[in-house]
Amino acid sequence: MAKVEPRGFFPLATYSYARLSEVDLGFLRIGGAGLGNLLVTWAEFVTGTARYGLIPIAPTWPQFKLGPLVRNESDKRFYRDLFVRAPGEVSGIKKLKLLSRLPRIPAAEFANSFVPRPSVNSREVLVEFANAGSLFENILKDHAFIRSELLKITREEHKSGLQHDFHRSISVHVRLGDFRVESLRTSAEWYTATIAAIRRAVGSDLPVYVFSDGENKELKPILNLPATTRLAFGSSLADMWALSAADILVASGGSTFSKWASYLGRMPVVYPPGTLYHRLYYENQAAEVKWSEGETFSSAFVEQLKCRLTAA
């Protein structure tokens, strides 16, 4: 990634920080988004830090969130043991001091040189990355760099899914845990129909691996399919890495988690109808489709499926 020299004046000591929640105490966050959305902010932070040669302050990953406890979800989303500190990141007491005293510049303003010389008597400022809903738009073509950086900070125990043999198989992500409103959920029938359609398209009853935060009884129509197994690797991050290693991905509608698996893995992916923010494959759009029951996959997508299975 080439270093970009921003126009205008900026202090010599310029730090960067990913603010992952509105309430960020520097050692703990209160509330906040799920892992997929947090990673988008983190990704903008690491790409911006590299692009502008900033001094990174370690993000605050641990959070307390009441919702998963109330819903008794298996993943309580505390995120305290997923990542290690990246080399060169400021942490500890120095981190807390810098966060408390440095004047902050929103990342978008910094990048566009909208910020004049700070009015305070300081030669240090903090460029703050706080994703405002852009999802992958700002990092669309940085997937190789971001994958490399994410692997560096992922604890070894959460990489186990990358060692699983997904040779000639379909991986399915079914998000249910916090999608309690029925209209937000993708029906089990859509998943079973999609699996059947893929198997027909490639002429093979490919094994199916199911990843989900739901209960087995909710997944029964899918798990009852032939050659279908439920998998879990111990954490949301480990499951995301496992999904990124899929040969073919059947994604969950409305889930940034599914999109991260697709973004990192670049495998053929099928989304439910109505899914927003797809089109991650700027370099190979034929490999990414929305599909409704009763439709036929395009010949271009079928070719993508067969090429992937041949290469696997």
DSSP 125-156: EEEEE---S-TTGGGTT-HHHHHHHHHHHB-G
**pLDDT score recorded for residue 178:** 53
- Token pair for residue 277? 């923010």
DSSP lists the bridge partners of residue 17 as 128
Residue with tokens 């798990």: 223
The residue among 97, 268, 291 whose CA lies nearest residue 194 is 291
Please check whether residue 262 is in contact with residue 287, taking contact to mean a CB–CB distance below 8 angstroms. no
Domain positions in the chain are: 13-153, 160-311
**pLDDT score recorded for residue 153:** 97
| 10-residue stretch averages of pLDDT, the chain, 312 residues long | 48 84 90 87 96 95 64 59 94 96 91 53 82 82 97 97 95 78 72 98 97 93 97 95 98 91 97 83 95 95 96 69
Please check whether residue 262 is in contact with residue 289, taking contact to mean a CB–CB distance below 8 angstroms. no
Crossing angle between the packed helical segments 35-52 and 143-153, to the nearest 10 degrees? 110
**pLDDT score recorded for residue 261:** 97
**pLDDT score recorded for residue 7:** 45
**pLDDT score recorded for residue 129:** 96
Helices (H), 164-230: 188-202, 220-223
- Give the architecture-level CATH label for domain 160-311: 3-Layer(aba) Sandwich (3.40)
Q: Is the dihedral of CA 204, 224, 274, 42 positive or negative?
A: negative
For 299, residues 6+ apart whose C-beta sits below 8 A from its C-beta are none
Task: Tell me which amino acid residue 16 is.
Answer: S
- Token pair for residue 276? 């927003």
**pLDDT score recorded for residue 183:** 46
**pLDDT score recorded for residue 276:** 76
**pLDDT score recorded for residue 74:** 53
The residue among 232, 223, 230 whose CA lies nearest residue 161 is 232
